[in-house]
Amino acid sequence: MECLENLFAEPTRRDVLRWGVACGAAGVLCDSAAVAQDTAGTGALEGPKLEGVARHEALFWEELADRKVKCTLCPRECEVADVERGYCGVRENQGGRYQTLVYGALCSANVDPIEKKPLFHYLPGTTAFSIATAGCNIECVFCQNWRISQFRPEQVPSRHVPAERLVGSCRSHGSPTIAYTYSEPTVFYEYMHDSAALARRHGIGSVMISNGYIQDKPLRQLCRHLTGVKVDLKAFTETFYVDHCAGELKPVLETLETLKDIGIWFELVVLIIPTLNDSSDEIRRMSRWVVKHLGPDVPMHFTRFHPTYRMTNLPRTPVSTIERCRQVAFDAGVHYAYAGNVAMHPGENTYCHGCRHELIRRVGMQTASNRLKDGKCPKCGTAIPGVWSQEQALAFSPRS
Ligand code: SF4
């Protein structure tokens, strides 16, 4: 992997000419923190913490009495007193005005295979320029990225990267897509919104890798600039969300129905945790709900849990459990059910839902071969749901 120092390197004069004024005129706004990649897979930045915090007027909030505000970005609807912050720790009331503290304050950056997000029906074999800030609006006790998601911006080494620099760096690395990922992008909504809009104008798509904990209005506004979404559906019971995520299931299901209504491409990930959400009955009810409310073509990725953060008392998910969940989903009518975190498993491959012909072979998080012809199965001609070209990605506009 490339040194992170290079990810946001100064554009060359040739780059400036190639991208046009908007990308090239950004100038140097990054701090001088020495940065290096970590080994956790998030590309977390190391080095001195950001001087102060990057304040920026927040979107989606209402004024209340006594200089309080109500945040309407996510279903928590935090009511925040002056000089206090919302639950996510990255949005602060300053004198009755609500501000985001993470506008462009990136704590992680990496060039990842798009398959790592995972998005399997979105430009397979390409890379996604992947970034994050600190913060999250729920707390999953099994979070793999808790070192950035469960901390405040001033506690995490970060670097200020203007949207123009992000877009320019993405282009110079040849990635057709920016992925807002690792922590929860909803909490850095304003930066995601602005940089995705800018990226689109420069021929780059944007995907949000999210827990789906966002309100309808900001989601619809954001999707005008996105080209794909991945949502974690963590379980199919309210109890699981309350006990293990400090959240609720219902708003996530509403988000999925909104995405369906908008018409944007999206895929689902279900992290299967032994004894907590791995029963066939729960996966069957979940899969039937997906088929009924979202349609059979939304891919479902069933991925293996490994002990981490505050859930170290349970073992890794057996591969046989993942295989069973996948079969339950197929039996419920899901066309594309995948095995995740199971390297070299045939369940990582894409098979035509019409004739079961192997279309895309994956090895780990890479696409090894792709037999799709213009988005169709070369054997039976079935159109395979997904986003198969950058032109198709950039042509997306919300249905409603
Ligand atoms: S985005 Fe943050 S501040 Fe706003 S409602 Fe959600 S948790 Fe609260």
Q: How confident is the model at residue 6 (pLDDT cuts 50, 70, 90)?
A: low
Q: Specify the residue with its C-alpha closest to ligand 1, atom 6.
A: 74
Nearest to 102 by CA among 118, 88, 116: 88
What confidence score (pLDDT) does residue 37 get?
Answer: 29
What confidence score (pLDDT) does residue 46 get?
Answer: 54
Q: How confident is the model at residue 17 (pLDDT cuts 50, 70, 90)?
A: very low
- Ligand 1 contact, 101 CB (< 6 A): no
DSSP string, 37-64: --SSSS-B--SSPPSS-B-EEPSSEEE-
d(CA 310, CA 2): 31
Q: What is the pTM of this model?
A: 0.90
The phi, psi pair for 63, rounded to 5°, reads -80, 140
Q: Where are the alpha helices (DSSP H) in 39-162?
A: 146-149
- Indicate the range of 41-50, 225-234, 360-369 predicted with least confidence: 41-50
- Ligand 1 contact, 276 CB (< 6 A): no
Instruction: Set out the domains of the chain in order of their start, with CATH numbers.
Output: 56-100 (no CATH), 105-395 (3.20.20.70)
* 78 has pLDDT over 70: yes
The pLDDT tens digits for 143-152 are: 999 999 999 9
What confidence score (pLDDT) does residue 367 get?
Answer: 95
What confidence score (pLDDT) does residue 7 get?
Answer: 75
* 41 has pLDDT over 60: no
* 111 has pLDDT over 50: yes
Q: Specify the residue with its C-alpha closest to ligand 1, atom 4.
A: 71
Strands (E), 158-299: 159-160, 177-180, 205-210, 228-232, 266-272
Instruction: Name beta bridge partners: 71.
Output: 61
What confidence score (pLDDT) does residue 365 get?
Answer: 86
What percent of the chain is predicted at pLDDT more than 70?
Answer: 87
* 4 has pLDDT over 90: no
The pLDDT tens digits for 177-190 are: 999 999 999 999 99
Are the CB atoms for 311 and 357 separated by under 8 Å? no
Q: How confident is the model at residue 8 (pLDDT cuts 50, 70, 90)?
A: confident
Q: How many DSSP H helices and E strands does the chain contain?
A: 12, 19
What confidence score (pLDDT) does residue 32 get?
Answer: 29
What confidence score (pLDDT) does residue 51 get?
Answer: 55
What confidence score (pLDDT) does residue 49 get?
Answer: 53
Ligand 1, pocket-test mutation among 74, 77, 214, 219, most atoms within 8 A of CB: 74
Q: How confident is the model at residue 250 (pLDDT cuts 50, 70, 90)?
A: very high
* 38 has pLDDT over 50: no
What confidence score (pLDDT) does residue 153 get?
Answer: 95
d(CA 153, CA 133): 8
* 48 has pLDDT over 60: no
- Ligand 1 contact, 74 CB (< 6 A): yes
Going by C-beta distance under 8 Å and a sequence separation of 6 or more, which residues neighbour residue 393? 122, 123, 176, 177, 205, 227, 228, 387
What confidence score (pLDDT) does residue 123 get?
Answer: 98
- Find the largest Cα–Cα distance for the chain: 67
What percent of the chain is predicted at pLDDT more than 90?
Answer: 85
232 Cα–ligand 1 center, Å: 18
Q: How confident is the model at residue 309 (pLDDT cuts 50, 70, 90)?
A: very high
Q: What is the DSSP letter of 311?
A: B
